[in-house]
Amino acid sequence: MTATATRHRSRIPLRIVVAAALGIDAIVHLMLAANYQQASPGGIGAGTLFRLEAAAAILTGIYVLLRGSRPAFTAAFIVTLSALTAVLLYRYVNVPQIGPIPAMYEPTWYFAKTTTAIAEAVGALLSAAALTTHPKPARRP
């Protein structure tokens, strides 16, 4: 077995945990989407954005599980960090509607919101760790 193959196998637990964090993010967003869409039943509402986030998390989780490459962990980092940023922003800042993006200010914490924020934070931190320890591909002359 080559050194690269050994390193690849040793990263399987990391890939599973990052994918699980993305899975939790997706499940919570899908569970909450219908209730958040009620504020804008005919347009782009928070429910639609929640469904898009869930789709991005699912696809990225699958990508991380299948490949575990730098691009996969980069995608995981972007998805989890952007979701965490949104949850924190809309928790603490009353951002008005911006074009088709609805105002989603919600100054409370509850179980599902806390769960997804923790999963997103774990996913972002572990993805960043994977990127810092993942060997960069060798450049060809």
Q: Which segment of 19-23, 44-48, 87-91, 132-136 scores lowest on mean pLDDT? A: 132-136
**Is 30 part of any domain?**
yes
Contact 120, 53 (CB under 8 A): no
**Is 140 part of any domain?**
no
Of 70, 67, 105, residue with least CA distance to 87: 105
Write down the pTM of the prediction. Answer: 0.86
Domain limits at 98?
11-133
**Is 107 part of any domain?**
yes
**Is 2 part of any domain?**
no
pLDDT surpassing 90 at residue 61: yes
**Is 3 part of any domain?**
no
Bridge partners of 49, per DSSP, are none
**Is 6 part of any domain?**
no
pLDDT grade for 6, boundaries at 50, 70 and 90: low
**Is 139 part of any domain?**
no
pLDDT grade for 4, boundaries at 50, 70 and 90: low
**Is 49 part of any domain?**
yes
